[in-house]
Each structure stands twice: as structure tokens, then as C-alpha cells.
Amino acid sequence: MRETLRWGIPVTGLATLAGYLAPWAPHPAAGLAITGLDLGELVKFLSPVRDGQVVLWREGFYLPPVAVSLAFSLVAFREEWAYPRPVRAGMVVLALVAAALLLPPAWTPARLWTPEFRLQTLVLLGCGLAAVGSPVLALAPRWLAGSTVALLAVTGLVYPIRQFLAVLPLMAAVYREPLTPGWGLGLFALGLGSLVLLGIGAGWEKRG
């Protein structure tokens, strides 16, 4: 059980990021395929969203990389799992990479502090600080770390999928052809859903 928990979190975190960056709405033309990462910007240009007919929390599409980034930062240096140094370093690097996914396209320092992107910027900085401070976060009680991972994963799973399903018909109307959920969404859901269970298991694992 311990080995499953120990290696399950980095593996499912990687699967989540891979699914997030893979097609959620595939298209024969690669440039028209829609990934999870694309949705945070794409929905701004859908007329029903702009007009307020469909209400979305745009930043909710960025919850998955936040969940993975903080999960890696929380567990990378935990003493009871004793990850090898290269694995710990890799998890910290991936935590920073995941946080960087919150950067808007063609960003500039000034643009990051505009009202539209200020929340993303603050969360990005928080994730970066968590990654740098991951040895300190490893001192948190196991139940708190595991419960936090599970809560982050649940939030990162529910919001993006629910909102994606709400805008999928709107995107199909723009494309003027049917759009169906792609394999990226399935891998994403499997990865983050597994991370929920692993977080719960890690938080309440018996010492031994």
C-alpha cells in the first residue's frame, strides 16, 4: 500500500498534466484541437459567455495545474516516503512547470497585474513559493497534507469538466460541426480522480 501511495502521486500527477495538455475536443486539423489549457482563454471569445448568457468561472480551467503543482510541493520531501533526490528535484521542477501554465498568452509583467489576470498571477506566485518551500511543507501533518491533496484534486476535477461540458455545444456551433470529448479529457479525469483517492489514502495511511 505504501509503495502505491508513494509512487502513485507523481505518476497520477504526470498523467493529469498530460491529459490537460492533450485534446479535450479533438479535430482533424491539429491547430483546431482544443486542449484543457486552451479553455481558459478560448471561452472569453464565445458570444454566449461574453454576453452573460452562460456564466463561467474562467479561472476554474486553471485549477488542474494548480492542484498538481501544490500536490507535488506538499509530498516531494515527506520523510516517510523517502523519494530519491532526483525524484524530489523532478517533482519540484514539475511543480514550477505546472504553475507556469497559468501564464496568459503573450504575457508581459504589466499585463500580469491587470484585473483580468491578477488572480492567476497571485496563484502562480503562491504555487512557485510552495515549490521553493516544499521542504518546509513536508513538515505538515500527514493527514493535513493528504487531505489537502485530495481537496485540490476534487476541485480541479469538478470545475473544469463541468464547465467544459457546458461550453462544448457552444464551441461546436462555432466550428459548425459536432465536437465530442477527446482522449485527453479521459486521461485527465483518470489522473486527477486517482489523485483524489491517493490523497485520501496518504492522509489516513497507518504508520508502519
User: Taking the model in full, what pTM does it have?
Assistant: 0.93
What is the structure's pLDDT at 124? 97
Q: What pLDDT tens digit does each residue of the chain (208 aa) get?
A: 677 888 999 999 999 999 999 999 998 887 889 999 999 999 999 999 988 888 899 999 999 999 999 999 999 999 988 899 999 999 999 999 999 999 988 888 888 999 999 999 999 999 999 999 999 999 999 999 999 999 999 999 999 999 999 999 999 999 999 899 999 999 999 999 999 999 998 877 665 4
Tell me the H-state helices in the chain. Answer: 2-21, 36-42, 47-50, 63-75, 85-100, 109-112, 118-132, 134-137, 142-175, 183-204
